Amino acid sequence: MGLSRQYSKEKLLEASADVISGTLLSKQASVKYAIPQRTIQKYVAILRLGQSAPERQRPGPKPVMPAALEKDLVDWIAGMQSCGHPVQRQTITLRAAHICRAFDQTMTLSSGWYQRFLARHPILAKRTAQVISRSRNEVCERTVEILYDSLATVVNEHKLDSTRIFNMDETAFNSRKKSKVVVALRGSKNVWAKDINTNFHMSIAACGNAAGLVIPPLFIMPSDTVKRSLSSCEVVLGSRITTSNKGWMTEYLFLQWLDFFNESVPAKTVTIAGRLLTVKLLRDIDASKEAKAAATAAKKALKAASKSRKGKGKAKLVARIVQEITV
């Protein structure tokens, strides 16, 4: 049984160097490095003539595309992956066929070429791409750090507990996009594919706190009105359905949602002067502050007017006394 030919060029050069230096015979080097004796003798003869060792040739017929063009194709695949548009098998085959027809109009590529192409470039591998939106794909590490630092500062300064930390988000609801098998660089942690949004969407305003309380969602439809049967239908217990021109949250809808939020949050033990702290109480406090400020301003104006009248009366009295004395 012959020796396996799975050896590297470096091992072949080491074996040839040992034979040339006289350290080993060609037969001994063949056993030590697991390289056929005839191959070692051939390389020794080439090196003794002062010639460079020839490159090992791939067995079988030459690839349809030159090595330089295949390298460009690999770079194109990597570039498409980096910009969020990983390519599939069919796209790669079509692109390669388009390149090949530039120098041979009759050339065609089969599925066998695709498999051999992946084998010649082990840096490529089949992966399943996860579909995400463009805004999520462009989030950087620095913006996430700023967000968490800001939240930590607010929580520490105001001594907020889990029942007072709410997260409200408005998002468009789309059907789940199907993942697809693409070709990407081997070793990539994640392979993302950008999502192309449709013209129609339905927005959902969801809210919950850190203690686990979830506020029923608000569904926003892109229209002027909805059917009465739909508006009375609770897809989720306690949820509400409304409309806007473009299906997004507006200033008016947000104020309405605050009242809905106030109704949905159970009573807490936080009180001010014996009264339960609610959104209505906060509005009353703001109104009382405005009324107090207006009353203070009016009081200052009355004092200034009274002081002005007293000053004028006193001046008239002094003038009359002086006039009587002089007479």
Q: What is the pLDDT of residues 186-221, one digit of tens each?
A: 877 666 666 555 555 678 888 998 888 888 888 888
| Cα first-last separation, the chain | 151
Domain boundaries, the chain: 9-48, 62-161+181-198, 199-266, 275-327
Looking at residue 75, what is its pLDDT? 92
- Beta-carbon contacts of residue 158 (< 8 Å; ≥ 6 apart): none
Give residue 64's pLDDT. Answer: 80
Cβ contact 97:109 at 8 Å: yes
For the stretch 104-140, pLDDT in tens is 777 778 888 889 899 888 899 888 776 666 666 667 7
What H or E segment, with its residue span, contains residue 276?
Answer: strand 275-276
Identity at 118, one-letter amino acid code: L
**Using the 8-state DSSP alphabet, how is residue 106 labeled?**
T
pTM attached to this predicted model: 0.40
What pLDDT was estimated at residue 224? Answer: 74
pLDDT for 228 equals 67
Q: Please state, in angstroms and rounded to a whole number, the distance separating the CA atoms of residues 5 and 58.
A: 12
Q: Which parts of the chain have pLDDT scores under 70?
A: 1-5, 52-60, 130-138, 173-180, 189-201, 226-235, 267-283, 285, 306-327
* Distance, C-alpha 86 to centroid of its chain: 16
pLDDT of residue 1: 43
CATH of 9-48, one of 1.10.357, 3.40.50, 3.30.1380, 1.10.10: 1.10.10
